[in-house]
């Protein structure tokens, strides 16, 4: 079985405006990396459109309706005071994100793909059940996890988030669901200000690993190995969803951690080892943040190279 990559050109049509960090060039950088000859064994799949029913697995109906109604025919619409904007191409982009995440789960659960990477945007892990935040509109990682529970009858699904920002929206979706486990490594203090170590979920199903500004490879790896990985192993997931943000890279302009490309490969391999023990290697990875071309090129390539077993 191969690693599958889900992508759709519509994800480039989300245009939040000049100077916005969450620009189409982000995904173009990832695509440039994955089109190199060393990735010729990847299996590419078109990201399908997600459905309203899939979005409703996590988000409130009133919120989904409000986002659909806000989608502009021209110009930009601000959803949260200016960070998160919709352009005419945004609605299809976010629905392709949802569709890719759920299709990735389906492919991995069917044994068609060894694992999957969703090369989509915008990111989603800040989106809460009832509001857009931090460039995120629908939370595709949380939707993928609940889709695995509801559609495939799983009892334990984990979400591992190594984006530099805390995935507050994913935490909110998991907080009262003991079948879900959420683990996040992130810089603190930093937007959105959540993710303290004491935030552990209604049933101890959340592990937050706040890391200081300037955190580099040694501290990152030791903290992840000491706290995040053992908790993930104890949970014994039947599927792992990864929120793969590359903004903890030393080059990223929106944060101040100092990870290298190989750190993203390392955490990917460590999560894969647990997936190999617990759930036949089933992993669905979803692109989150990353706002440096160099960081996205190198980080995403290292991550997918590890998913391929290289």
**pLDDT tens-place string over residues 195-232:** 999 999 999 999 999 999 999 999 999 999 999 999 99
Question: What integer pLDDT is reported at residue 298 of this predicted model?
Answer: 98
Cβ–Cβ < 8 Å for 46, 6 = yes
Residue-wise pLDDT for 263-294, tens only, equals: 999 999 999 999 999 999 999 999 999 999 99
pLDDT grade, residue 179 (50/70/90)? very high
Peptide bond into 74 cis (omega under 30): no
Tell me the per-residue pLDDT of 130-172, one tens digit each, with 9 for 90 and over: 999 999 999 999 999 999 999 999 999 999 999 999 999 999 9
The question of whether 59 is a catalytic residue gets the answer no
The single residue of 126, 166, 186, 303 carrying the catalytic annotation is 126
Q: Dig out the tokens for 80 from the structure.
A: 């949260």
Q: What average pLDDT does the chain have?
A: 98
């Amino acid at each position: 079985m191969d690693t599958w990559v889900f992508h759709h050109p519509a994800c480039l049509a989300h245009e939040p405006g000049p100077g916005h960090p969450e620009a189409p060039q982000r995904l173009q950088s990832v695509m440039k990396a994955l089109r190199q000859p060393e990735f010729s064994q990847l299996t590419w799949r078109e990201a399908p459109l997600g459905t309203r029913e899939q979005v409703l697995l996590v988000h409130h109906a009133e919120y989904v309706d409000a986002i659909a109604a806000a989608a502009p025919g021209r110009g930009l619409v601000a959803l949260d005071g200016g960070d998160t904007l919709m352009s005419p191409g945004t609605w299809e982009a976010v629905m392709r994100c949802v569709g890719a995440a759920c299709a990735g789960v389906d492919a991995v659960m069917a044994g068609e793909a060894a694992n999957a990477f969703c090369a989509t945007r915008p990111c989603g892990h800040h989106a809460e059940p009832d509001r857009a935040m931090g460039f995120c509109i629908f939370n595709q990682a949380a939707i993928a996890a609940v889709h695995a529970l509801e559609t495939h009858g799983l009892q334990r699904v984990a979400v591992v988030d190594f984006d530099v920002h805390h995935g507050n929206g994913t935490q909110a979706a998991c907080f009262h669901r003991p079948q879900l486990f959420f683990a996040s490594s992130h810089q603190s203090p930093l937007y959105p200000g959540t993710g303290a170590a004491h935030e552990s979920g209604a049933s101890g199903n959340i592990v937050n690993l706040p890391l200081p500004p300037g955190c580099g490879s040694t501290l990152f790896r030791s903290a992840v190995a000491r706290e995040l990985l053992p908790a993930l192993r104890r949970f014994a997931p039947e599927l792992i969803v990864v929120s793969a943000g590359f903004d903890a890279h030393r080059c990223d302009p929106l944060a101040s951690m100092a990870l290298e490309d190989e750190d993203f490969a390392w955490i990917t391999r460590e999560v894969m080892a647990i997936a190999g023990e617990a759930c036949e290697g089933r992993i669905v990875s979803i692109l989150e943040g990353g706002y440096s071309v160099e960081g996205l090129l190198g980080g995403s390539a290292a991550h997918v190279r590890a998913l391929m077993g290289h």
